[in-house]
Amino acid sequence: MTHGDDSGLILPPRVAPIQAVIVPISAGNWKETVLPQAQQVFADLKTAGIRVFLDDRDAYTPGWKYADWEMRGVPVRVEIGPKDIEKRQAVLVSRLDRKKIFVPWDKLAEELKLLLEKIQSEMYRKAKAFHDENTRPARAYPELLEAMAGSRGLIRSGWCGGADCETKVKADTSATIRVILDKPEPAAETCVVCGKDALHTVLFAKSY
């Protein structure tokens, strides 16, 4: 739910079932010229340990395939066309920012791995920054009510573990516990609802 844009999903490379999709450009006699090289690139990347898919469907245009795989969130698109065959290169396109990188065939696996790590790191940085900017503490119940009445986000509070306290928060604000934090720093000392000792530090939020 964190990663996406108007074009669809964006998957972090480390969890993406497909890390890179190869799209051969279907122009002219592409099945005799472009497709064999795309198949070789597929084999090389797979051998290098990259989760890769070759989209050799001939019923769709390259542009349609681009949009389809962007919607699915595949981190990197590998384009190979007639001009790339001449130049012995492929084009890497990041799903995150759509920037293109022109890479020689013999450097493709190495550069693709670097790009995947770069995408992973940048996605984490952006997600953490958004999380930190939209998380606010509430130590007392009036603070929680005020925070929930304002802008959306996560409210960090203590919770005694009692179902009645969580039910009260839901009844008063429509928010529920979304995350129980593991070894939080600092840990909450008292429950935001009843004031008893907190067994957990949690994040309350509404669903939208």
Cα-Cα-Cα-Cα dihedral sign, residues 97, 101, 105, 109: negative
Q: What angle do CA 139, 140, 144 make, to 5 degrees?
A: 90
* CB-CB contact of 192 with 206 (8 Å): no
Q: Which two tokens stand for residue 29?
A: 């006699």
pTM of the predicted protein model: 0.82
Distance CA 12, CA 134 (A): 21
Write down the CATH superfamily of domain 135-205: C-terminal domain of ProRS (3.30.110.30)
Distance CA 94, CA 74 (A): 9
**Helix orientation angle between 141-149 and 163-173, rounded to the nearest 10 degrees:** 40
* CB-CB contact of 41 with 92 (8 Å): no
What is the full per-residue pLDDT of the chain (208 aa) written as tens digits? 688 899 999 999 999 999 999 999 988 889 999 999 999 999 999 999 999 999 999 999 999 999 999 999 999 999 999 999 999 999 999 999 999 999 999 999 999 999 999 999 999 999 999 989 999 999 999 999 999 987 678 999 999 999 999 999 999 999 999 999 999 989 999 999 999 999 999 999 988 6
* Amino acid in the structure at residue 122: E
The 8-class DSSP code of residue 35 comes to: H
Residue 28: left (phi > 0), alpha (psi -120 to 50), or beta?
left
Residue extents of the structural domains in the chain: 4-131, 135-205
Domain 4-131 has CATH 3.40.710.10: no
